[in-house]
């Protein structure tokens, strides 16, 4: 277990380098997949910067390796002996697609390591202990909150040992996701649908049930060109085969096939996705799938788009949770409330389309309450 060292042990030059390391880590914006964003700055004994680097995602060199290579090219390998490495995350002790960063720092002659956040990944942790055993001065866990803020979903997934699950749902004010005849386009506004694509772009997997595929034939793609980045994996959970004519039976825009999780057990589905390096699942299925995840205790965040619309009948947002008394109700804490206003283009739509598209929608971000 890593022993935290008090922040005053960090020198002024190291504090400045740590701020720079955090800026470097965020250079590429949101990076999806199994690896966190990490930045590293190497300092000479007099505080001068020898090299710096950041991680660009799974399969690419880690931040420490990039910084070491840049420093070797700039000042030569001898200048690294006695240097200090300042890193946003504890250097890893794991050999995967790349070698252990802690070993690389030790072999380069680094004499001191300062890192902001202890590594919560049980597979990769242990770098601080390896370095200390080699005689390196290690100052650890000096800004854990900022480290977590840099990689909130990755950190939570490491702690949970499964992908983080965000349930996205769009409802009327009375909690309906469609009218009694099954029609649902569109309950919420165009602004809400644009925002939902932002949610998809921030997840590495979008998951629905086989019933939703049969009823709605979704594509589950990010179709907002302004968001850029890779498409999330498309996943279907359930025992039924995908209809051959469905959008999800065909390859996605990136050529990837839909992942079919042939199970009704949320735990088994998430374990399968975890084994495929998926760390953030956006759950977009219907009431039955949502209820299954709630009953399993596998929902970590809710993003609800609530439209100023009443239907009075139609499918509910979530199925039976087995709750028979108000004392058993699922309680959630509100993390954010945002009113999504229409854009000028939405206001220029024809009268028949404008009523729904141009209406404001309330986006609620909620998290299940943790009982004390």
Give alpha helix (H) positions in 134-237: 144-150, 152-160, 190-202, 210-216
CB atoms within 10 A of CB 355: 12
Pairing of strands 361-368, 301-306: antiparallel
Lookup: tokens for 2: 């890593």
* Residue 180 DSSP label: T
> Do 67 and 52 meet the contact criterion of CB atoms below 8 Å apart?
yes
- Contact by Cβ (8 Å): 260, 242: yes
**91/88 Cα distance (integer angstroms):** 9
Question: What's the first-to-final CA gap in the chain, in angstroms?
Answer: 26
Cis peptide before 186 (omega within 30 of 0): yes
Phi, psi angles (nearest 5°) of residue 280? -145, 115
14 in active site: no
Catalytic entry in 64, 90, 284, 301:
64
H or E segment at 137? strand 137-139
CA Rg value for the chain: 24
In which element (H, E) is residue 291 found?
Answer: helix 287-295
225 exposure class (CB count in 10 Å sphere: 0-12, 13-18, 19+): exposed
In 3D space, the residue among 136, 143, 117 whose CA is nearest the CA of residue 7 turns out to be 143
SS3 332: strand
Tell me the catalytic residues: 64
């Amino acid at each position: 277990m890593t022993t935290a060292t008090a922040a005053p042990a960090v020198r002024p030059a190291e504090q400045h380098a740590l701020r720079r390391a955090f800026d470097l880590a965020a250079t590429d914006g949101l990076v999806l997949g199994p690896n966190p964003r990490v930045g590293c700055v190497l300092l000479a004994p007099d505080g001068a910067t020898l090299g710096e680097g950041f991680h660009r995602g799974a399969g690419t060199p880690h931040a420490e390796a990039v910084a070491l290579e840049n420093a070797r090219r700039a000042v030569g390998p001898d200048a690294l002996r006695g240097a200090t490495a300042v890193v946003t995350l504890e250097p890893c002790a794991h050999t995967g697609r790349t070698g252990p960063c802690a070993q690389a720092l030790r072999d380069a002659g680094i004499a001191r390591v300062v890192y902001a956040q202890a590594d919560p990944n049980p597979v990769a942790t242990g770098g601080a202990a390896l370095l200390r055993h080699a005689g390196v001065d290690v100052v650890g866990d000096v800004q854990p909150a900022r480290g977590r803020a840099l990689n909130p979903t990755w950190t939570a997934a490491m702690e949970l040992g499964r992908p983080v699950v965000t349930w996205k749902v769009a409802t009327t004010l009375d909690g309906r996701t469609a009218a009694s005849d099954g029609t649902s386009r569109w309950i919420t506004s165009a602004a809400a649908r644009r925002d939902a694509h932002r949610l998809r772009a921030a997840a590495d997997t979008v998951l629905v049930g086989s019933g939703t595929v049969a009823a709605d034939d979704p594509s589950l793609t990010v179709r907002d060109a302004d968001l850029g980045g890779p498409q999330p994996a498309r996943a279907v959970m359930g025992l039924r085969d995908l209809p051959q004519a469905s959008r999800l039976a065909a390859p996605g825009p990136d050529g990837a096939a839909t992942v079919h999780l042939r199970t009704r057990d949320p735990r088994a589905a998430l374990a399968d996705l975890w084994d495929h390096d998926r760390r953030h699942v956006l759950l977009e299925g219907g009431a039955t799938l949502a209820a299954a995840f709630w009953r399993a205790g596998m929902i970590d965040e809710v993003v609800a788009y609530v439209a100023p619309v009443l239907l009075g009948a139609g499918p509910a947002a979530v199925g039976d949770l087995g709750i028979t008394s108000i004392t058993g109700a699922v309680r959630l804490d509100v993390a954010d409330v945002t009113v999504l206003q229409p854009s000028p283009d939405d206001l220029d739509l024809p009268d028949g389309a404008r009523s729904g598209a141009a209406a404001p929608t309330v986006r609620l971000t909620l998290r299940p309450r943790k009982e004390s």
